[in-house]
Amino acid sequence: MQYSEKVLDHARNPRHVGFIEDADGVGMVGDPSCGDFVVMTIRVQDGRIADIQYQIRGCGAAIATCSVTAELVYGQSLETADLLTDEDVVQALDGLPEPKLHCSNLAASALHAALEDYRQRRKADLHDWRSLYAR
Ligand code: FES
């Protein structure tokens, strides 16, 4: 299987690996008990992704897609991150071999799950804040 230089670089030297302990949003895709999975954590400041870290169990292509996804959205607005697609991830890596295309889904899906988790938590916070004045 032929990988681009970018895939090999990100697979060998993945960026933003880790887990933000007090993350503002956490997204998990896959099933840790039986296969490939990603946990993506984000910190949000002023409507931007101030930090992003992930942990992954998967093949080299999946590691590369998580790494480049983190690079693509780091420092970007939430709206920009919302628009990231699997195709964007593949393009940023100068392509993936056909049998590995599905691996790119893990990264973007985990990112979107983390963004959704962030928004759900904010909704809950806002609700709690209002409840203080509802007595
Ligand atoms: Fe399973 Fe790539 S993550 S083959």
Query: Which among 30, 1, 34, 16 has a CA at the least distance from the CA of 103?
Result: 30
Topology, domain 5-121: Sufe protein. Chain: A (3.90.1010)
pTM of the complete model: 0.90
Residue 108 CB neighbour total at 10 angstroms? 24
58 lines ligand 1 (CB under 6 A): yes
Q: Is the CB of 103 under 6 A from ligand 1?
A: yes
Catalytic residue among 1, 22, 31, 34: 34
Residues in CB range of 94: below 8 A, 6 or more apart: 4, 5, 6, 7
- 17-67 tens-digit pLDDT: 999 999 999 999 987 776 899 999 999 999 999 999 999 999 999 999 999
